[in-house]
Amino acid sequence: MNLDSLLKQMPELTLAYLFRLVSAVLILYLGRWAVRGGINLFRGFLRRKKVDETLVSFFSNLLQSVLMVLILIAALAQVGIQTTSLVALLGAAGLAVGLSLQGSLSNFAAGVLIVIFKPFRVGDAIEAAGVLGIVEEIGILTAELRTPDNRKVLVPNSKIMADSIVNYTAKPTRRLDLKVQVSYSDDLQKVRRVLESVLAEEPRLLKDPAPVIGVLELGENGVTFAVRPWVSTADYWPVFFALNQRIKERFDQEGITIPFPQRVVHFSGTMPTV
């Protein structure tokens, strides 16, 4: 193509390029407007499904970023820029980032499962990944627990979901499992009556289910009774401590013996002199 021919086609080429440029700008403008409206609808849908607000924000931002990248690629293609290599570069970069953040992605996936399935909530007392504590915060990557001695522990979500989770406060009621040992010389019927009396005097115990008292074991040092009343979860530890103290006090009043390990040594022959 000679210079004269190029000059003759210049207005036509310029007009075509301007048309492409205007189309790209329209794609960016209208695409951004459409994405914003679509993201608002997406957020509303997730909130109606009662999805956690942390996930709503994260998924909305992630979807918005992906859609805007696609719109940008479409706009660049409209003005004649080859986007094949750009897409390949973005894919390679995404793979590299994914490999480098493999542990974080695992924690994120576990965090999503925790938020969706809710095996525990903020304020629950749980034991997970070898840590016992109160859940202070559920994050995307970690869960924050406060231990009974007031330490702050951050537990990776992947470790929580990879192990069993014990939720002590998930149910409104719990059973107390007390073990009381008495001497073989004590009257077992009297022991039962005293234990029933102690339980009857505790107003925080539930009537239904009814408490269970029974001989659990004939041990080496004495007879072990199982005392199993039910309480509200919030009253578990106060009642646990109170009943142990009250049982000891009543046993002392009633002359019931709580045995302790003893060893009797018999000597044969004469004692050696020093």
Question: 32-45, pLDDT tens digit by residue?
Answer: 888 888 888 988 88
Write down the pLDDT at residue 95: 56
- pLDDT band (50, 70, 90) for residue 166: very high
Write down the pLDDT at residue 86: 60
Q: What is the mean pLDDT of the chain?
A: 83
Write down the pLDDT at residue 237: 93
Which of 92-101, 171-180, 197-206 is least confident? 92-101
User: Does the pLDDT of residue 9 top 60, yes or no?
Assistant: no
Write down the pLDDT at residue 182: 95
Write down the pLDDT at residue 118: 84
Domains of the chain, start order: 9-100 (1.10.287.1260), 119-167 (2.30.30.60), 173-254 (3.30.70.100)
224: tokens are 């072990």
User: Does the pLDDT of residue 193 top 90, yes or no?
Assistant: yes
Which of 23-27, 148-152, 172-176, 217-221 is least confident? 23-27
Write down the pLDDT at residue 268: 64
Write down the pLDDT at residue 142: 86
Write down the pLDDT at residue 222: 92
Q: Following DSSP, what letter does each residue of the chain receive, concatenated?
A: --HHHHHHHHHHHHHHHHHHHHHHHHHHHHHHHHHHHHHHHHHHHHHHTT--HHHHHHHHHHHHHHHHHHHHHHHHHHTT---HHHHHHHHHHHHHHHHHTHHHHHHHHHHHHHHHH-SS-TT-EEEETTEEEEEEEE-SSEEEEE-TTS-EEEEEHHHHHHS-EEETTSSSEEE--EEEEE-TTS-HHHHHHHHHHHHHT-TTB-SSSPPEEEEEEE-SSSEEEEEE-EEEGGGHHHHHHHHHHHHHHHHHHHT-------------SPPPP-
User: Does the pLDDT of residue 12 top 70, yes or no?
Assistant: no
